[in-house]
Chain A
Amino acid sequence: MVSFNKAARTLAGIAAAALIVPLAACGGNGGTAAPADIPAEGTDDGTEITLWTRSPLERQAQAVVDAYNASHENQVKLEIIPNDDMEGRVGGASQTDSLPDILAGDVVRIPYWASEGIFADITEQIDGLDNLDDLQQGHIEAGTVDGAKYTLPFITDVSVWVWNKDLYEQAGLDPEQGPTDIESFTEQAKAVAALGQDGVAGSYLAGQSGGALAFDLFPSAWADGEAVMNEDGTEAMLDNDSMKAVLDSYRELANTDNGLGAGSKEETGATWTAPFANGVIGVMPYPNTSLNDIFDAEASGGFEVGVTPIAGTSGGTSTFLGGDAMGISKDSEHVAQAWNFLHWLMQSDTQAEVFAANGYTASNIETLQTAYEDADPRIQTINSTIIDGNGQTPKSAAFNEAFNAAGSPWQLLIQNYVWGSGDSLEADNQAVTDILAQ
């Protein structure tokens, strides 16, 4: 009898223990460290600085860190966190006061992090930058809470339409002419679908990755001048005509044989860029940071890829100004050294050296305008989406819960519209609002 009671008790305790054990040593505090006197350019005295960023941006982050370490006494130790684990890791580290010196995170998660006091206030330092106006503002605004600035752009990741020129040629399309609006996007995808080749599909959608869905679909609405949320980020406006047109396009493709690649409906985002990279998708919205690998593959005999800005129904264009913004964490004991890294990366010389020279997209507008004259015209196309100022970064403290989290109401909205009955858009939009408004 006794042993059973104990067993049951122990088992029952597992749920509780699992949650508690990692926190046993915690003493939560929400205050942010006020940076002491920091030289304008920070301190370079051979300190080791830790930096976290997420896995999709590994290639670019590694290039930045290598360039810094080669030219400075400070050494940055880069740690790559899987995209899905980022939130949990940051939360755990925050509770145990063990955040890295510099924390870079998905720009849509930054407003929440900043409002929870994850970062140190570096308003004075940011305002002291000579070229502040040249920097990509979306990443700075994301980390601005009540006038206090916490973040600067680390790596810019924008969405563009890409198409597979080899498949276009086989489908009888002009391989040099990508889509110019939603209608031509749908037509071209259907033409590739009609090839009927094994495994080849017109387009692809990460059906269960709210983050990728926002990244892919929001720009079309913005291109038409529509909004996806109100200005405060407390109300969803996803039932506008442009968004409907986009969703109708994908619904049509989902109902077409080979319209959307196998696994689209179940894709959780871990491998959403792989099918296009494998050359089996005709046309889709794509992150520019993943294009560098495809350009490399193309140079060594892979398929040719075309790049054009994402358009809406009327031919206007826009992009999702995504990627990682970075700030100095509340737990950093090397604030001056960390600021040295941030300050260095913001300089246009640095941006030209680590981003432009490698074919990556800079987050300094001046660099984008001047340092890419010899670059691949497709990279210039990508840069133009940032320079033209049409791009946006959605900002809401509840963005993660409403859009990014697994099973989020935004994910359900897409699932219902594209693969489901298609008649619950208004109710699903309201469900997103319910989360945003809380």
Chain B
Amino acid sequence: MTSVSKHPAKTRSRERADATRRGLLYALPDWVMIVALFFVPIVLLIVMACSRWSLMGGNRGWNFPDNFIEVFNHPLLGQSIVFTLEYTVIVTIFLLVLGLGLALMVQESSRWNNVLRTCFLLPSATGLASASLLFYALYSPQVGPVTKILSFFGLMDEGGSVLATGQSALWATIIVIVWRFSGYYMLLMMIGLQSIPGDLYEAARMDGAGTWRIFRSITLPLMKPTIVMCLVYCVTGSILAFDQFFILTKGGPNNATMTVVQLIYNFAFDSKKDLGMAAALSLVVLVALMIINSIQMRGMRDNTK
């Protein structure tokens, strides 16, 4: 937004004021959205986090900091944080490496590559919940083929389910996410690759650089902003993971795949039925995400200097 200068001529000042008003008007829809969809919920969230607010009974007044104490004393909190971080690290590595790899593979435009690109991108057209449901059916020992195939090769018991143990449920979920999102990250990476000028590669080749050297000294450094952007998206998305686990495992078996956001849901609607505790944990997650994101942003800023 522009500010009015200190000593303007009279007519000028009116013009400026008009311009400012116009500017504010243009920005208004944006501000309405931000206030309605961000600030109001945040204020409500803070109020809720500091109140005794049960799901059935509603708001029963302030109780700060009881909700936070209860959240931090909850036995599942530590476990869910560790699990969420484990999941985030694995998913981020897979998605970034696969995204970049696929992008390099189909970078050149040819007829086959176009077909491949479409294939890779297609899963991104399904909603995450639909994709999870699809895999839920595939993993089901009653109707899905996965159990039959794995037990045929002697990798698991007949009639068992890949969602039965914590580790296998984690990897089963990671497969869903990689299937659903790798095409999307491929697209983001491809845009980054295409913005690298072709003459840089030409020059490097004339200097006698090999493929690996070109990748390391030209592609990677120039891709850094894109990679950091993907990293931010991927880390944030993974820390907020909910849909896939809600549909595939509900945090089970025996709380082994309980993510932090699942725990928020659990506090609010299942075990505690306490919206105050859920809001308190949401607030903690929000602050943690802001810190993590600002660190990642800093990584990007250094590069763009």
Contact = CB atoms under 8 A, between A and B. Distances in A.
A8 B41 contact: no
A335 to B, nearest CB: 19
Majority-rule SS of A interface residues: helix
Nearest to A28: B58
Interface in A405-436: 405-408, 411-412, 415
A268 interface: yes
A8 B271 contact: no
A116 B285 CA distance: 28
Interface residues of B, number: 59
B232 A4 contact: yes
Interface string B31-70: 0000001101110110010000111111110000000000
Given A10-B38, A90-B56, A266 B44 contact: no
Contacts of A405: 266, 270-271
A208 B252 contact: yes
Nearest to A92: B55
Contact of A11 (B159, B240, B254): B240
A28 B279 contact: no
Contacts of A91: 55-56, 269, 273
A74 to B, nearest CB: 27
A407 B258 contact: yes
Contact of B273 (A87, A117, A266): A87
A43 interface: no
B38 A266 contact: no
A70 interface: no
Nearest to B42: A16
A400 B54 contact: no
B290 interface: yes
A411 B256 CA distance: 13
A106 to B, nearest CB: 14
Contacts of B100: none
A342 to B, nearest CB: 21
B129 interface: no
Contact of A406 (B41, B164, B250, B286): B250
B57 A15 contact: no
A148 interface: no
B56 A118 contact: yes
Interface residues of A, number: 52
Contacts of B297: 4-5, 8
A17 interface: yes
A415 B254 contact: yes
Interface in B277-305: 278-279, 282-283, 285-286, 289-290, 293, 297, 300-301
Interface string B210-251: 000000000000000000010011001100100000000011
Contacts of A24: 40-41, 44
A210 B297 CA distance: 45
Interface string A359-398: 0000000000000000000000000000000000000000
B60 A13 contact: no
B163 interface: yes
Interface in A78-118: 87-88, 90-92, 94-95, 112-113, 116-118
Residue with the greatest number of chain B CB neighbours at <10 A, chosen from A4, A12, A21, A411: A12
Nearest to B269: A88
A30 interface: yes
A430 to B, nearest CB: 12
B160 interface: yes
B255 interface: yes
Interface in A1-25: 1, 4-5, 7-17, 19-21, 23-24
A274 B160 CA distance: 17
B41 A16 contact: yes
A11 B44 contact: no
Contact of B60 (A23, A30, A94, A118): A30
B108 interface: no
B56 A11 contact: no
Given A11-B236, A118-B56, A407-B271, 9 more contacts: A11-B289, A12-B289, A30-B57, A94-B56, A94-B58, A112-B56, A208-B252, A268-B252, A408-B271
Interface of B: 37-38, 40-42, 44-45, 48, 53-60, 76, 141, 158-161, 163-164, 229, 232-233, 236-237, 240, 250-255, 258, 261, 264, 266, 268-273, 275, 278-279, 282-283, 285-286, 289-290, 293, 297, 300-301
Sorted from nearest, which 10 A-B pairs have the closest CB atoms?
A28-B58, A262-B159, A91-B55, A116-B56, A407-B255, A405-B271, A28-B59, A20-B41, A88-B269, A116-B57
5 contacts: A11-B289, A15-B261, A20-B44, A263-B160, A406-B251
Interface of A: 1, 4-5, 7-17, 19-21, 23-24, 26-30, 87-88, 90-92, 94-95, 112-113, 116-118, 199, 208, 262-263, 265-266, 268, 400-401, 405-408, 411-412, 415
